[in-house]
Amino acid sequence: MAKVKFQLNRSGVRELLKSSEMQSICLNYANNALGRLGPGYEVSSRSGRNRVNAEVRAETFAARRENLKNNSILKAVKG
């Protein structure tokens, strides 16, 4: 059996990682995690140098404390 080789289209992958479709997928994951968390958390997104990013962060003191104690954001993202 012959070895199969393929060459990745780097510009296509870069375009995909920075696309609005990928941003909506990332926001969907972040909003799902936000739904599992209590009050005091916020979702934001931005387009970075290499890819789009979505972030869930604790905004209030109580949410920050709860996240430090229980790792709640990580648990919410994992589902």
Query: Which burial class, exposed, middle or buried, applies to 37 when counting CB atoms under 10 A from its CB (0-12, 13-18, 19+)?
Result: buried
Q: Which residue has the tokens 């996240």?
A: 67
* Torsion of the alpha carbons at 65, 68, 57 and 30, rounded to the nearest 10: -130
Q: What is the pLDDT of residue 28?
A: 96
Helix (H) or strand (E) holding 39: none
- Domain segments of the chain: what residues? 11-78
Q: Is the pLDDT of residue 1 over 80?
A: no
pLDDT tens column, 30-62: 999 999 999 999 999 999 999 999 999 999 999
